[in-house]
Amino acid sequence: MQRRAFVSTLGTTLLAPAVLIGCAEIGTGYDETDTPREEAVAWPAGRTRTALVLGSGGPRGFAHVGVLKALETQGIEPSLVIGASAGAIVGALYAARLSAREIEALALDLGVRQIADPAIWRPNRLIGRALQETIVNATKTARIEDLPRPFVAVAASVSGGKLVAFTKGHLGAAVRASAALPSMFLPVTVRGVLYEDGDMVSPVPIRVARKLGATRVVAVDVSAWVEDEPTQAYESWRKRDAERRAIITDEARDADYMLRIRLPYYAGASREYRENVIALGEQQTSVAVERIRAVFAGNV
């Protein structure tokens, strides 16, 4: 899908035997008391319960950085950030109160080694511990509840596709579970349950935001536009694009405003690609910024 070009690039890189050295995973990487879990959201006192939902999208998720740049410039700040997959990665950095410029710098400098740790017995899959540690190092925060902005990472159970909203516990592990794309990462075990990216369950988890108590929701969708599918696209791609679009369209009914960022159909991993989608995210959000402000102010 929209991640295919990125996955292909990583796959080629990971064929090098040297990369396999030191890739073994030992333990969870966090104390058992910090195991990610679902609990009620601690909404900021005295503030309207506004939620910004950042959807999944693989490398297309770099566009979320541009969205945050535009919102930050206008002084628009939600009470809660909810992220799915790529949206969870960007959302965690934002919840740590890194500036949009700082997040952009990290996004542009992100290297394969910061997310790529192949499993010895399944070398075509990544473990995800590298990403887990990258999140903690970048945010300087180990637990979700210690973030200065309330944050939720959404993942789906491998068996049954049940969504879970991690509101407490280890930040890196929660983001890792949310971003565990089945074709790329191994699933993540949390309290005996396997979790993965919920991209084909709820790409933009708006209803999760409502269940957590949000009274106003602005959601950001960076998935591929069906209208932009090239004629040579595989039928399997077309089918998954259509399925994803149907899920998002249905769930969008529960958002006060859905911002759909239009990006090139094919995704990539180059710095040029990242710069391009960040710029597109910023430009398109700037056009919609007054509508977003009005939603969060309760004027629509």
Residues identified as active-site = 85, 197
Six token digits for residue 181: 């794309």
Environment class of 124 (CB within 10 Å of its CB; exposed 0-12, middle 13-18, buried 19+)? exposed
Six token digits for residue 256: 């006060």
CA distances from 190 to 30, 35, 155, 243, 255 (A): 12, 7, 11, 28, 29
What are the φ and ψ backbone dihedral angles of 66, each rounded to 5 degrees? -65, -35
**Cα angle value 188/191/197 (rounded, 5°):** 30
